Structure 1
């Protein structure tokens, strides 16, 4: 029989690349087969990198569309499992799609076709074996995942953890994202709440998955042992071969603080996702540059020398260098003052009240203050990453030019690099615009915020904290007694 319109269907999935059935090899053999039979090839339908476990494939979808339009007389594949590895899907395609539309199906390797009774019987038998092989592959893959984990390799896949790329079967540090991970750990150890870290990171950074959507993502990153070089699979932890992003000492300090905050969460202790005190995360020492933290300081009775009951103790904001964790210190010594929490909180809230009571005060502050420019680490990292990506593209083009890489392969390898390059360039443009036009509140936006929190004195703690965080970027405690500097978000 001479078929006028033959459709060649070829597929290669990632889990069977090693079988040797490449796209080019399948096409070459199918074309020779058609030449020998004097068949006319209508079109070639290709699905590179798609699994045979389902029929959601672009090439197969286009083939079915052309079949429904009456353009195809015969579908030719190199091997039955190229069509599908599922018995159910194979029989569906042949019995529900091909035959009802007067389209025959031939598998070249198995040497049978649906135009004969014997060929139809063999289709059902071979479909069973195709599905059996698929189940065997799943078993081998599961065993392979365990073996990879034991050898220190990450399980692989399309969703590596933030901070890493998955290259040639290994986790490789992504410097732009790794900087974000290190910053999260640093901010948390410096006293920031997980929620405040989330708000900052979401505003200033992006990742491979677009952006950070919930504060819980930050919590997961702060607890993920993959960042200290560990691999976990099926509940068992192994030593990884990838380079750690966080050192063990820093990681353990973060876990300790996380555990303490979580276990003591009550009215008297903060949640790991929200700051307990009004100004947590905003206070900095104007002398040494360290952060300020809140600490309860018990008082002694001047007569007896004994500590007074804790209910009568005061909580103070203190400089880390002067009286805090050594890891948080910015100098060897600092005499910057400690300030009672209740007093400083009142000062800041009073300043916000002045903004509300005096509409002209906004313009007065804007005219008298100017933002300080800081070194943009993010932009530097992005530019380095862009240069590295361009270097990889240039190397591939060089290999193609000298004939080392065939044209069929260069496209698959260079496309994701160009896509990555475009994304980096887009992020760089956005970052540059932010630097040219500082991301700050307008006067109208500031007034809207003040209107939303009308009765400041009667707000609960969380709403007061939200108000302060919405209007203020930073507060510096200056060496002079009772002296502070507020960095507003509208300046």
Structure 2
């Protein structure tokens, strides 16, 4: 365009390049323009159009994304949509679950193996209703969940038990220390130094992470709750 910009940034010492000046000084230069002003304006309009975000064509959810697998390669099935135009001019969007490998890597890796979204979700919900209506099956699921919960929390429970033991030992020593001081076997300064030492040991024994505040809750099943699981 043959122009020169000055004062493009503000508060450079603190903001650096983030401190963009919305109104820089623009003056005509003496050098030859690289592009014409018409080309510059056309490019700016094109960039502005491309920077806009297209509206979403679907606001629902694909409930089974990543949960069902391709029957051919075993990859996770992902959301897929097709758009077609009917004879009356109306556009129809059909939703599917398709092979993730096919969607990302193409037909050289796998096939689409698409299944209609509604058909897949209806089938899974129907099977869930059947499973959850059987108390034995539901109890087996709950037992597995409790076992998983136990395995995850056991290391933390052991650490918590160890810390509790350390705290109890410190409390016993502190009580004994106080008894000796009351019987005149310690000087005051020596006693205060000891108290500070106990306090420091107590602080170091307690973890800073709140993850050790565990609840030993367990999932249970009651017949009165069965209706809550049936969709």
Note whether the superposition's TM-score is higher than 0.5.
no
Q: Smaller-chain TM-score range? A: 0.3 to 0.5
Larger radius of gyration: 2
Query: TM-score of the superposition, structure 1-length normalised?
Result: 0.21
- Of structures 1 and 2, the one with the larger relative CO (CA 8 A, separation 6+) is 2
